[in-house]
Structure 1
Amino acid sequence: MTLEEKIGQMIIAGFPSKEYDEHLDEIIKNKIGNIILFTRNVGSKKALAELNDKIQKSMLESTGIPAFITIDQEGGMVTRVYEGAAVLPGNMAFGAAGESKAVLEEGKIIGEELRALGVNFDIAPVLDVNNNSKNPVIGVRSYGDNPEKVAEFGVNMIKGLQSMGVIATAKHFPGHGDTAVDSHLALPLVPHTMERLEKIELYPFKKAIENNVEAIMSAHVLFPSIESEKLPGTLSYRVLTGLLRNRLGFKGLIVTDCMEMNAIAEYYGTVNAAVMAVKAGADLICVSHHLDLQLGSLNAIKEVVLMGEIPESRIDESVHRILAVKEKYNLFNRPYSDMDKVETLVGCKEHLSFAKAISEKSITAVKDERNLLPVKYKNIMIISTEAVILTGADDDIKKKASFSEAVKENLGGEAYTISLNPRMEEINCLKEKAKDKELIIIGTYNASLNKGQAELVNEIFKVNSNVIVTALRNPYDINMFNNVSTYICAYEYTKLSVDSVIKVLSGEIKAQGALPVEL
């Protein structure tokens, strides 16, 4: 292989459209060897399968090597393939359902559907232990705040995915759970001692390594107890090589989180950081969006190799690992989608009913002190925000469900949609309307981070104490209004979870979930 081809194998690049476009053509012409898909690339399931086949055909013509086609198909709020596929609940919903074995089945379903569509590499599961109620980016993407439970559930997801021929990725090493900053926006820091990291943050990753996870994704987070310089995990030799490779004995693929995220781009520069990540020990450098930065990263790595700053043997190490995994997952013989399965298996009834059963089992009634469940009143008022993008990982939220409208449709009453952070004018108007209602149902969406919603709940409670709050994402919202007597957690704002909550409100099913985090 030429030096360009070898470095190209170390880059994962994204492109903007649902079709095979010029950007994609440039990526492949320049020998970049792997692709990442986002919601922006996903049309119908048939269109996605055809797109992936075109990508592989062009890759094989260009270099003779099939591509890793990667995607963040975590389930819940981070789901890229939506139309026509089985949309599974997210990690915290599985944690609440207490269904560890079901996560193995989930992995098999996601793996089987992705591989049928021509996707061979899932950037999941999240193995971060979410023990910070102010975490704006992990939250419900985590299985919970117990490291043993996170490890057990995560390992089952890994086994399920990989048994279906899809590479699994444990993320975000060494742990993004105890941060109060989103690394898409800034550079977070985890201040804990090594002793504490060993016990909590690192535990699920150790278990994933013991259970042969193929890939681990780095976190753009500072860990001063591991790395004394101001370098996030992604750019730290001590983190990636010293800790992950040497101490923990990980032999698989080290993948970076996207190098265009602000934690990297603003502080180090995407292109410069691509070189730093290779020096630190990363095998796959993810540049998700801009062609100039993708080609710039490729050329910058090539330049430092030619200058002797990075030995070519270091590039060869990564390329050997990459090619070995492509061989192991049969990509040279079976790189394409399976159209028969796309038609018959992707989004099939069995997969959808599995998703529904877990969703229903996950709904958690944290308290119901005034016995407001199931809903017995007719003169009711329902208030909620819409499902909107809250983090860089959300990408795009398909089929924006309105909780208030859906509840009204099923239980009657008046529905109101509020902004994410309502102002006092909006709050006072709704407070006035709430005075003479028999019951108020409020769907909150990370009220612990959007204080206007908490203000709304507290103000309405002053004039009407018959209030049911349903947390439609992070369960921590209750910390903002302890006086509410009935509190339900749904862990995600999707059509699936809204349908499940309505069944609990109407009395069709009982809430069976158990909190996977301490409140």
Structure 2
Amino acid sequence: MHTSRRTLLAATAGAAAAVAVGGGPSAAEDDDAARHDDKGLQALISRMTLEEKVGQLFVMRVYGHSATAPDQADIDANLAEIGVRNAAELIATYRVGGIIYFGWAHNTREPHQIADLSNGIQQASLAQPRGLPVLISTDQEHGIVARVGKPATLFPGAMALGASGSRTDARTAGRIGGAELRAMGVRQDYAPVADVNVNPANPVIGVRSFGADPQAVARLVAAQVKGYQSAGVAATSKHFPGHGDTEVDSHYGFPVIEHTEAQWAELDAPPFEAAVAAGIDSIMTAHIMVPALDPSGDPATLSHPILTGILRERLGYDGVVVTDSLGMQGVREKYGDDRVPVLALKAGVDQLLNPPSLSIAWNAVLKAVQDGELTEARLDASILRVLRLKAKLGLLEKPYVTHSGVDRAVGVPGHLDAADRIAERTTTLLVNDRKLLPLSRRTHPKVLVVGADPASPSGTTGPPTTVLAGALTSLGFTATALSTGTAPSAATIAQAVAAAGDADAVVVGTYNVTAAGSQRTLVQQLLATGKPVVAVAVRNPYDVAQLPDVHAYLATYSWTDVELRAAAQVIAGRVRPRGKLPVPVQRANDPAQVLYPIGYGLSY
């Protein structure tokens, strides 16, 4: 890097870096510093070629644990999907401004490797002419969505935090989670989810939401935004204008939200308004249609009335707007992959996330500028927002991380203890007939743990039945695990019933129970044995509506280790259940009737 350019980058980053570490300047000084910084950032933009500007707008996936030497299978995947061999070639070819990490792309094996990958990406980018640091992002929501697993600290997810209701806990989870991401070189987290889950049938949000009360969700979103950003990581509230009331997953279809404008303002808007008021660094769009906000039939990601008219102008937001993945069906339903990125920029987007074909998307934006459909000034406005964020996060000044920094921050005992204590405040007890819970080691020493073992998120060390049985055993019970799956066969159910004969109590993990599903049959047949049955919903808390006869029922909101350990503590009576439902549970045979309202939760 030339000395003059290093000096310029340091100057443009200086004021923002001071703010990031706390004790920064006053609001008036912030405004002056921002204006001063903009001049330096605009000078950087003025030196970019058009091709470099186009690249800065993209955030792209890339396979491999290393920026230059990934495994052969990852090289093959990169060549097939992107036309490059590795992250370094991706940067050299397209000059992307951002890269997103995924576990399935083999980016997140362990903390030191993640740090090395991040450093390799930064080195490759800064080595380019007029090279700039890359903004590295991931989806670390915690709960059921976590791209970075153990030994990093994994916290309860959003709905579990909603059951706690504690803004302090939400902020602490964000601050610690953010500090660990930053230590590994990840400076933008696509969290927290700001959707209000008012539809129990929502297939894509559910427990990723803090709950169904817009004002409660707004408070927790604001708290978590402040937590992440106090750690020097950009938080991202999603999915604007609100993905909470749908029965269609936008990964696979095109959801339509039928809220009126007044309903949107009451139900969907408050968490995003709170995020903006909290100084949110970035907001992610939703691939949904909201006819009341834009009758054109376009998804919100491509809607100028929604992104510019509402988000920019009405809500007054001038931070970074990032699309949800452009490979999702919801944004590809109406337009081709060459039109989607152009229309997103025209709508008001700044970052184009993970297009299915980067070549098609990149060339489409380039051609749109060359043809006059997009102006270079329009690109400059988005690049300025992105560079402002990079400066604020200290990337222009200190883009690299160290192994020693990882060791000081990631998965340290204090962080792990905080996660356990927070989880213990989230477990929710809805049924406790005849005060079955807590189980006594004297009267119920032998416990059979059966039930659903869904695919494990990053926050698990094994199947939920195994983790829960191990936790109960560590608390003095003799617990045996038997996985019956999410759709147990008649033979599997018979095996579980036979095993229950040797147990003093049965704990059954449930996962999205339906009226006609075999999980419900499993629970009914276990109840018929006469043994005490404790049901533990390991995802959505709505399962209780399908299980009216269980002796005790707990909601954990996820099957990650931290929440299963907390459930074991409650079952054993080591901690009292303190969680309160953040969503209502309707009667299975009459959804108009509420079985358990928001705020319901027993203790003992």
The TM-score bracket by the shorter chain reads over 0.9
Name 2:400's counterpart in structure 1: 336
SS of residue paired to 2:142: coil
Higher relative contact order (CA 8 A, sep 6+): 1
Q: Are 1:209 and 2:276 counterparts?
A: yes
Q: Are 1:495 and 2:561 counterparts?
A: yes
The one of 347, 360, 363 equivalent to 1:299 is 363
Q: Are 1:400 and 2:462 counterparts?
A: yes
Name 2:115's counterpart in structure 1: 49
Distance 1:442 1:384 in 2: 5
The one of 79, 96, 102 equivalent to 1:38 is 102
What's the CA shift string for 1:130-186, capped at 9, x where partnerless? 111111221111111111111111111111111221111110101111111221122
What's the CA shift string for 1:198-241, capped at 9, x where partnerless? 00111110111122111100011111111212221111112111
Name 2:157's counterpart in structure 1: 90
Distance 2:524 2:297 in 1: 42
Q: In the TM superposition, what is the alpha-carbon distance from 1:11 to its structure 2 partner?
A: 0.4
What's the CA shift string for 1:77-104, capped at 9, x where partnerless? 1111223221111111212122211222
Contact 2:454 2:485 in 1 (8 A): no
Name 2:414's counterpart in structure 1: 350
Q: What is the correspondence of 1:35-434 to structure 2 with a 5 Å cutoff?
A: 35-39=99-103, 40-62=106-128, 63-287=130-354, 293-376=357-440, 377-388=444-455, 399-404=461-466, 406-407=468-469, 410=473, 411-431=477-497, 434=500
Query: Mean alpha-carbon deviation: is it higher for 21-30 or for 366-375?
Result: 21-30
Distance 2:230 2:515 in 1: 38
**What percentage of aligned pairs have identical amino acids?**
36
**Aligned partner letter, 2:91:** I
Distance 2:86 2:503 in 1: 56
Q: In the TM superposition, what is the alpha-carbon distance from 1:382 to its structure 2 partner?
A: 2.1
Contact 1:370 1:486 in 2 (8 A): no
Query: Mean alpha-carbon deviation: is it higher for 504-513 or for 115-124?
Result: 504-513
Name 2:33's counterpart in structure 1: none
**Aligned partner letter, 1:342:** V
**Aligned partner letter, 2:541:** P
Distance 1:268 1:366 in 2: 46
Q: Are 1:18 and 2:65 counterparts?
A: yes
Contact 1:130 1:144 in 2 (8 A): yes
Change in 2 beyond 3 A, CA 1:316/1:449: farther
Q: In the TM superposition, what is the alpha-carbon distance from 1:338 to its structure 2 partner?
A: 3.6
Contact 2:143 2:459 in 1 (8 A): no
Contact 2:164 2:425 in 1 (8 A): yes
TM-score (norm 1): 0.93
SS of residue paired to 1:442: strand
What's the CA shift string for 1:245-304, capped at 9, x where partnerless? 12211111110000111222455343431222112111100016x5xx012211111111
Change in 2 beyond 3 A, CA 1:287/1:270: farther
Name 1:514's counterpart in structure 2: 580
Contact 1:401 1:495 in 2 (8 A): no
What's the CA shift string for 1:386-405, capped at 9, x where partnerless? 2316xxxx6x6753333256
Contact 1:136 1:449 in 2 (8 A): no
Change in 2 beyond 3 A, CA 1:229/1:461: farther
SS of residue paired to 1:167: coil
Name 1:452's counterpart in structure 2: 518
SS of residue paired to 1:110: helix
Name 1:27's counterpart in structure 2: 90
**Aligned partner letter, 1:383:** V
**Aligned partner letter, 2:572:** S
Q: In the TM superposition, what is the alpha-carbon distance from 1:34 to its structure 2 partner?
A: 0.8
Distance 1:280 1:426 in 2: 53
Let me know the Cα RMSD of the aligned residues.
2.1
SS of residue paired to 2:506: strand
Change in 2 beyond 3 A, CA 1:46/1:190: same
Distance 1:454 1:86 in 2: 34
The one of 45, 52, 60 equivalent to 1:5 is 52
Q: In the TM superposition, what is the alpha-carbon distance from 1:464 to its structure 2 partner?
A: 3.4
SS of residue paired to 2:450: strand
Unaligned runs of 5+ in 1: none
Change in 2 beyond 3 A, CA 1:448/1:156: farther
SS of residue paired to 2:274: helix
Distance 1:45 1:404 in 2: 25
Q: In the TM superposition, what is the alpha-carbon distance from 1:14 to its structure 2 partner?
A: 0.6
Q: In the TM superposition, what is the alpha-carbon distance from 1:485 to its structure 2 partner?
A: 3.0
What's the CA shift string for 1:52-89, capped at 9, x where partnerless? 01101111112421111011111111111223221111
Contact 2:304 2:348 in 1 (8 A): yes
Contact 1:403 1:498 in 2 (8 A): no
Query: Mean alpha-carbon deviation: is it higher for 246-255 or for 480-489?
Result: 480-489
Distance 2:147 2:467 in 1: 25
SS of residue paired to 1:143: coil
Distance 1:59 1:80 in 2: 23
TM-score (norm 2): 0.81
Contact 1:420 1:450 in 2 (8 A): no
Query: Mean alpha-carbon deviation: is it higher for 1-10 or for 324-333?
Result: 324-333
Contact 2:250 2:329 in 1 (8 A): yes
Change in 2 beyond 3 A, CA 1:18/1:265: farther
Distance 1:381 1:103 in 2: 34
Distance 2:404 2:446 in 1: 51
**Aligned partner letter, 1:128:** D
**Aligned partner letter, 2:121:** I
Distance 1:165 1:344 in 2: 16
